[in-house]
Amino acid sequence: MLQISFIIIEYHSIQDVTECAASITRTCGDISHEIIVSSNSTYSEEERAILIDTHPVIQWVFNTVNGGFAYGMNCGLAKSAGDIVVITNPDVRIQSENIADAISFLQINKQVGLIGPQIIDTIGAIQDTCRPFMSPSHFLRRIPQRIFKGKDVLLEKGFNYKRPQAVDWVIGAFMMVRRDALKKVGGLDEEYFLYIEDMDWCMRFWKNNLQVVYYPDLQVEYKGDRKSTSTITKRKFVNRYMYYHFKSYIRFLMKFGLNPQRPSIC
């Protein structure tokens, strides 16, 4: 039986996809796996044929529209068959050689539905990829620090980034879920075009009595580009990424309230 499915979102990022897929193949070893690329790039028929021919290991899902991150991931999830499913950005590179341990962790701990790895950048610095659910005050505190102070990483004070533990949410750059949990929770909310869909998904796992766990024993390399909060330094006070970010956050608050908190579960 197929153990794990990797779904990579793609939007004009073939080189990144190639390198991400190579890191998956390298680290999976004898683990039965499939690599699915869900493309929102709306390539021509000729371009699609070339991609299929030049990347025979990859299963391609060519979406007819760019429906956003959640839409693209759901199209890939619908094609997947593994007992464990990973959704990942194309610019992620798996660093750990022990991905089998992460799979075992999810299979053994049935109360856990979703895990996120420790994420480092290209020089090995830990990224702030697991966070509390954001109330408006928390959200508004983080945005100015990114825009005006240029802080790409805002680590939570007092949080032990070396220990596996339950957290409110992990970022969608790399999420590993169990198939039965996916069936229970459902896919990502496609009403989010970009941003916050990961926080929403984690909240829904919690509301379905499934824990979200930060699992630093699995490590990947990734550096987000912070397109929604890099506008001041580029002398663009509003851009479409900031617009998507705020629009998505408003949707999250409308769904879960002004003080979103994970429910207590056994």
Kindly state the tokens that stand for 125.
Answer: 């610095």
234 domain-assigned? no
Tell me the pLDDT tens digit for each residue of 223-232: 865 454 444 4
15 domain-assigned? yes
67 domain-assigned? yes
Predicted confidence at residue 243, as pLDDT, reads 87
Predicted confidence at residue 107, as pLDDT, reads 96
Residue 117 β-bridge partners: 215
Q: CA–CA separation, 21 vs 24, rounded Å?
A: 5
CATH code for position 27: 3.90.550.60
Predicted confidence at residue 266, as pLDDT, reads 52
13 domain-assigned? yes
Q: CA–CA separation, 152 vs 252, rounded Å?
A: 23
144 domain-assigned? no
SS3 187: coil
Tell me the pLDDT tens digit for each residue of 137-183: 877 776 665 555 455 677 888 899 999 999 999 999 999 999 999 99
30 domain-assigned? yes
Q: Which one, of 265, 164, 133, lies nearest residue 211 by Cα?
A: 265
70 domain-assigned? yes
252 domain-assigned? no
Q: CA–CA separation, 233 vs 195, rounded Å?
A: 21
Total structural domains within the chain: 1
Predicted confidence at residue 213, as pLDDT, reads 98
Tell me the pLDDT tens digit for each residue of 130-143: 999 988 887 777 66
What is the torsion angle, in degrees rounded to the nearest 10, for the CA atoms of residue 27, residue 51, residue 71 and residue 86? -10
Whole-number Cα distances in Å, 145 to 140, 149, 154: 9, 5, 8
Domain range for 47 = 4-131+158-226
Ranges of the chain whose pLDDT falls below 70: 142-152, 224-238, 266
* DSSP 8-state code for residue 181: H
